[in-house]
Chains A and B, each alone.
Chain A
Amino acid sequence: MKDKRPVNLDIGTMRLPITAWTSIAHRASGVFLFAGMAVLIWALDASLASPESFAALKDCLASPLFKLVLWAVVAGLIYHAVAGVKHLVMDLGIGETMEGGTRGAKSVLVVSAILILLAGVWIW
């Protein structure tokens, strides 16, 4: 990156379109998931170490707080995956116009909201 590269846009002063919000959420969910992976790897460890630790993990899963943590990680995973699939679709040249981008962003929100709700039902 050049030192004196000009910066013409000050994002803080702009009203962001829906596509910007879904993009920021994709980034935020990615950062969140990087930390959330610790929970999943820890759970994988407990689930495989021994029958006792597997049972302990199941007991843990009965607590509302742990359900909430798991749901948050799964929700991040779902949103990040759906938004990621949208990127792959756009890489194929589909929905690259402004309207297409807006439609894609809305689809990502709707599809991930439904899947996150279903995941919540499954966890509880």
Chain B
Amino acid sequence: MVTAVTSMGRSGLYDWLMQRVTAVILLSYFLLVGWVLLGGVDYASWKALYSHTWMRVFSLLALLSLGVHAWVGLWAVFTDYLTERLMGTTGNVLRFLAQVASALIMFTYVIWGIQILWGL
């Protein structure tokens, strides 16, 4: 069973670093959005915020970070609980299916986000 082949960077240290870099990006993005929402928004001010190029870039960066972060995190969860040791061959099949499903969902989130941000 070669689980490392589906890890983000094929190396634990790389995954460890990416998990932290993307975490800091996501934390700063959610703090910014939370701060803006706490201040109260109407459609005009909210739309104006998201029409800035920097905000669109930051949002896309957060979305891509979400994909990487979720991949590393879900990989850790799947390779711990959906395993050959716990459920025999079924574990390998379930883990593969779970990884395919999560990859599809992440891809959808990113494309959906691009549509929203650039109003396609």
A binds B: yes
A-B contact count (CB 8 A): 59
* Known A-B contacts A1-B4, A30-B73; A37 and B20 likewise in contact (beta carbons under 8 Å): no
B116 on the A face (CB < 8 A): yes
Give the interface residue-count category, chain A. Answer: 20 to 34
Closest-by-CB residue of B relative to A55 is: B43
- Is A54 in contact with B38, judged by CB distance below 8 angstroms? no
Residues on A with C-beta less than 8 A from B79 are 1
CA distance A51 to B41 in the complex (A): 12
Q: Can you list, as one digit per residue, whether each of B22-64 has a CB less than 8 Å from chain A (1) or not (0)? A: 0110010010000000100001001100100000000000000
User: 9 shortest A-B CB distances, which residue pairs?
Assistant: A54-B43, A30-B73, A51-B43, A45-B116, A34-B70, A1-B3, A84-B23, A48-B50, A27-B77
Binding site for B on A (CB under 8 A): 1, 3, 7, 27, 30-31, 34, 37-38, 41, 44-45, 47-49, 51, 54-55, 77, 81, 84-85, 87-88, 91, 122
Binding site for A on B (CB under 8 A): 1-4, 20, 23-24, 27, 30, 38, 43, 46-47, 50, 66, 70, 73-74, 76-77, 79, 85, 102, 105, 109, 112-113, 115-116, 119
Q: A41-B109, A44-B113, A45-B112 are in contact. List 8 more A-B contacts (CB 8 A).
A: A34-B102, A47-B46, A48-B119, A49-B116, A54-B43, A84-B27, A88-B20, A122-B38
